[in-house]
Amino acid sequence: MVRTRNGPRSNGMLPLLALHAASEYYRLDRKPPVTAGLIAANSLIYLRPAFLDPILPSLQEVWFNPHLILKHGDLKRFFLSPFYHVGESHLVYNMLSLLWKGIQLENSMDSAEFASMVAVLLGMSQGISLLISKSLLAFFDYEWAYYTEYSVGFSGVLFAMKVVLNSQTENSYVYGIPIPSRYAAWAELALVQFLVPGVSFIGHLGGILAGLIYIQLRGSYNGSDPLTVIIRGLTGVLKWPVRFLRRMFPFRRRQISGRGPIGGGQRGISVSGFWRCHACTYENSAWLDVCEMCSTNRRATGSANGMASPPSAHYSGDLPLEELRRRRMERFGR
């Protein structure tokens, strides 16, 4: 990976990620904004554009290391390390996983609840990883995880999200292999550790345990959790200027109308430049004074503004049923 002053260059995987994400969002009726924001944040931190480079800590300043976090109270390493990645393939693999999991989870709840869940899972997965490393040192004198291991990446949160997502189904797939959902995250943990040497086992384990704890806590809590309420409140404040502008400058969507008989409305009312004949219910252009279907005069139907007088059994231009049917057939058969 070649680094420039503004950040690493892309080897072609990031454009593919952007294209795939755009195509996925295009086909969705509801575009989950939090998932998109998380993908954008991770990608921008990796690319380090010129306007962000002066304010973003370096990778060396945010490595997750339990010893440095506890010794110096370094919360920057605790909270920011999930958003950093060591290479393009590392970033793209995690973001593809986030795209798939995020779309499903955010569309199954509202965005404020999803944002709250991600924040809780991030904090819990990091905290559990820290606790496991410290416990291994205290009870088993295992120093590697506490002093020597440095890790970054969003995969701990993704393992937690996988546990939450799997709790909604009975069966899941791990690399194409069908597995009961309760074991899917554990199977993936073992496979990833075997296939990708050097990944953080404790970080991934912390994510799985965080997901399990979150499910238990969420199941025992009725209503929205406090963090969700706070996020909804902040979102409402941020949306207020938009709502104010909409009230000041109301935008009216163009109404689309067409010809032919329609049901459910009051008979005789015109629709956007059309008038309805009360004799046959056919809607005619406002430019016409005679019904195209049955030749009834428009004045017999109602005034020029489209409001019709109630139909009468002896209106001018009354036609026999067979004649009206014949004219309809001729009209539609043209």
Residue 68 shares a structural domain with residue 182: yes
pLDDT in tens, 73-120: 999 999 999 999 999 999 999 999 999 999 999 999 889 999 999 999
**CATH number for the domain harbouring residue 198:** 1.20.1540.10
Residue 4 covered by a domain: no
Active site residue 204: yes
Selection from 15, 10, 137, 154 nearest residue 66 by Cα? 137
286 and 205, same structural domain?
Answer: no
Residue 178 host element (H or E): strand 177-180
Q: What are phi and psi of 326, to 5 degrees?
A: -65, -40
DSSP per-residue codes, 203-258? HHHHHHHHHHHHHHHHHT--S--HHHHHHHHHHHHHHHHHHHHHHHS--PPPP---
**Domain edge (last residue) among 209, 228, 245:** 245
pLDDT at res. 189? 93
Q: Domain check: are 17 and 102 in the same one?
A: yes
Q: Are residues 163 and 230 in the same domain?
A: yes
Note whether 238 and 284 are same-domain residues. no
pLDDT, position 322:
67
Range of the domain at 39: 13-245
Q: What is the per-residue pLDDT for 277?
A: 74
> What is the distance in angstroms between the CA of the first residue and the CA of the last residue of the chain?
68
Looking at the 3D structure of the chain, how many domains does it have?
2
User: What pLDDT is attached to residue 171?
Assistant: 85
- Single out the residue in 227, 245, 263 at which a domain terminates: 245
Q: Is residue 237 part of a domain?
A: yes
Q: Are 59 and 8 in contact (CB under 8 A)?
A: no
Q: Does 185 map to a domain? A: yes
> CA 273, CA 287: separation in Å to the nearest integer?
8
Of the candidates 111, 155, 172, 200, the residue annotated as catalytic is: 155
Q: Residue 194 domain-assigned?
A: yes
d(CA 167, CA 58): 37
At residue 131, the pLDDT reads: 96
Query: 36 lies in a domain?
Result: yes
- Residue 135 and residue 225 in one domain: yes
Active-site position among 10, 204, 270, 278? 204
Residue 5 lies in a domain: no
Look at residues 179, 183, 184, 181 and name the one whose alpha carbon lies nearest to residue 170: 181
Task: List the beta bridge partners of residue 64.
Answer: 151
Count CA atoms closer than 13 A to 113's CA, side-chain side.
11
64 lies in the same domain as 210 = yes
Residue 31 and residue 161 in one domain: yes
222 and 281 inside one domain: no
Q: Which residue has the tokens 């370094």?
A: 74
Instruction: Examine the domain organization and report whether 143 and 280 are in the same domain.
Output: no
In whole angstroms, what is the distance from residue 48 CA to residue 29 CA? 32
What's the full length of the chain, in residues?
334
25 with 140, same domain? Answer: yes
Per-residue pLDDT at 329: 63
**148, 212: one domain:** yes
Please report whether residue 52 resides in a domain: yes
257 in any annotated domain: no
Q: Which positions of the chain have pLDDT values less than 70? A: 1-10, 222-226, 229, 238-240, 242-246, 248-275, 279-288, 292-294, 299-334
Q: What is the pLDDT of residue 60?
A: 94
